[in-house]
Amino acid sequence: MSSDSVLSLDRQVCFALYSASRSFTNLYRPFLDELGLTYPQYLVMLVLWERDSLAVKDLGATLRLDSGTLSPLVKRLEAGGLVARRRSARDERSVEVGLTDEGRELRERAAVVPHRVLAAIGMGLDEVRELRSTLERLTANVDEAAERARAAVAAGVPITDELLRGTTTEGD
């Protein structure tokens, strides 16, 4: 089989992203071990350090995590004394998660992590900003295409390149 096949692993954007994600997680591990956090727990803490408290539902949406994944993360952080869960005063059906004093104090120790990561990746700040912007645009495009594909499948419509790009017109 030809090495330039469209099905060649090294030609897949998804595999390059997967590999980069795994590498980043491995890079973060020793820094986060010093804080007693896993990478997913660190992401939860990053959101809470920005907002202090929010509904579990909103936290999940921000991190793109379902409740089955998020709930155990929050429970472990709560057991570690970093966050507390409580019923929302505005809506008893909603559970909010917020930082404890210990969780707020951990922020100071965690402030070194982004600097260490930036030092380790061998890219300048401008390159990192450009990469993040490209990845945000890619994520938005993929999300939109995935939604169009799901809708097409649900409607029994064939998935075409035009449909995925959003370039089909009414009556096509």
Whole-prediction pTM: 0.87
Taking 90 as the threshold, does the pLDDT of residue 130 lie above it? yes
Same domain, yes or no: 38 and 90: yes
Could you give the CA distance from residue 100 to residue 106 in angstroms, rounded to a whole number?
Answer: 10
Query: For residue 170, what pLDDT is reported?
Result: 53
Could you give the CA distance from residue 27 to residue 54 in angstroms, rounded to a whole number?
Answer: 29
Query: For residue 89, what pLDDT is reported?
Result: 77
Q: Which domain holds residue 149?
A: 123-172
Q: Predicted confidence band at 8 (pLDDT cuts at 50, 70, 90)?
A: very high
Task: Name the strand (E) or helix (H) holding 40.
Answer: helix 39-51
State the average pLDDT over residues 94-102.
95
Domain count, the chain: 2
**Tell me: the pLDDT tens digits for 48-96?**
999 989 999 999 999 999 999 999 999 999 999 999 999 877 877 889 9
Contact residues for 16 (Cβ-Cβ < 8 A; gap 6+): none
Which residue type occupies 1?
Answer: M
Q: Please give the backbone phi and psi of residue 97, each rounded to the nearest 5 degrees, phi first.
A: -120, 135
Chosen domain end from 105, 122, 139: 122
**Helices assigned H by DSSP within 65-160:** 67-79, 101-110, 112-121, 125-155
The CATH number covering residue 14 comes to 1.10.10.10
Position with higher pLDDT, 169 vs 97: 97
State the average pLDDT over residues 141-151.
96
Angle, helices 112-121/13-33, rounded to nearest 10 degrees: 130
Same domain, yes or no: 69 and 99: yes
